[in-house]
Amino acid sequence: MAAIGNRGTVVEAAAFNVEEDVNRLRGAMKGAGTDEAAVIEVLARRTIAQRQRIKEAYKLTVGKDLADDLQGELTGNIEKVVLGLLMIAPKYDAYELRTAIKGSGTEEAALIDILASRTNAEIRAITEVYMKEHGKSLEDDVEADTSGMFQRVLVSLLTAGRDESNTVNEAQAVQDAKDIYEAGEACWGTDEVKFLTVLCVRNRNHLLRVFEEYQKISGRDIEDSIKREMSGSLEDVFLAIVKCLRNKPAFFAERLYKSMKGLGTTDSILIRIMVARAEIDMLDIKTEFSKAYGKTLHSFINGDASGDYRKILLELCGE
């Protein structure tokens, strides 16, 4: 029942007693009002695997679904966090993608954040869960909801076909850099398909080499060229791919920062990253956050959220 990663703030609770946890949660929901502190203490300090055990034991002893009961007790953002914590990782990602797609308009940020950052195995698991939960293919839903080159990039990412070896082909890296340069900076207009072919297919080590070569050929960083050559969601997805390849925790740190800076908070992004990365790489995200912004993630959340919502996010963030 260990954590799904080894750089998370949420780690396996040592003295885990599933019956005790079930009783505490039952007690927290008894009578008028809810003891949110007890809910936070139990669920934010257990791994996903431990929470699955709690869900099973709750259903066995109470004859009801824990998520349903908590949904009836909680509201607003804390409800969203708690329900997210109760899901296994691919189910949570599939749920977030479904939420982003259904209804009027599309939350492109969710599609980009998830699909640009997950491994092939993670994407395959997400597409399987999505089909099981919704009876539809995720690819079909994405195609119905997006268009143009942005759609093509997402569909490419959904195939989960990126080379995940560590091999760098020097001659190919030079050629890839030239191809991207000639498809963008060196010509009038942009041939986005060339960018897709290189950025969505090649392995990480190879692409880091391509980016070095690109800098030499063009005199610009690949991110700058993407900003100059593209716009809107297409620019966002290509930038996310490059940033995740270079440094995934730094990508998430930037997303968290942007979700909280200025007036108002983009809670959907803040919740999604805090829930999804808590037991994978939150320690590294916190380090990158402090490095980039000179303040801790903890202090940002503390100043931005309030009440029980703030408490649960700070638990997931850790000191």
The answer on 216 and 202 residing in a single domain is: yes
Last residue of a domain, one of 102, 126, 159: 159
| Assigned domain for 10 exists | no
Q: Is the pTM of this model over 0.85?
A: yes
| Assigned domain for 5 exists | no
Last residue of a domain, one of 222, 246, 270: 246
Contacts of 180 (CB under 8 A, 6+ apart): 194, 195, 198, 210, 214, 222, 225
pLDDT confidence of residue 319? 83
In contact, 279 and 317? CB cutoff 8 Å: no
In contact, 275 and 92? CB cutoff 8 Å: yes
Q: Which two tokens stand for residue 319?
A: 């000191």
pLDDT confidence of residue 210? 98
| Assigned domain for 62 exists | yes
| Assigned domain for 4 exists | no
| Assigned domain for 12 exists | no
The answer on 122 and 67 residing in a single domain is: no
The answer on 153 and 174 residing in a single domain is: no
| Assigned domain for 164 exists | no
The answer on 39 and 79 residing in a single domain is: yes
Q: What is the CATH number of the domain that holds 133?
A: 1.10.220.10
Total domains in the chain come to: 4
What is the mean pLDDT, run by run of 10 residues, along the chain of 319 residues? 85 95 95 90 97 98 96 96 98 97 83 98 98 96 95 98 96 96 78 94 98 97 95 96 98 97 88 98 98 98 96 96
Last residue of a domain, one of 86, 110, 132: 86
The answer on 223 and 197 residing in a single domain is: yes
| Assigned domain for 65 exists | yes
The answer on 74 and 132 residing in a single domain is: no
The answer on 60 and 29 residing in a single domain is: yes
pLDDT confidence of residue 287? 98
Can you give the residue range of the structural domain that contains 179? 170-246
Distance between CA atoms of 164 and 10, rounded to whole angstroms? 27
Terminal alpha carbon distance of the chain: 23
pLDDT confidence of residue 269? 96
pLDDT confidence of residue 102? 87
The answer on 118 and 63 residing in a single domain is: no
Q: Which two tokens stand for residue 295?
A: 């303040």
| Assigned domain for 7 exists | no
Distance of CA 110 to CAs 115, 249, 253, 318, Å?
A: 8, 17, 15, 24
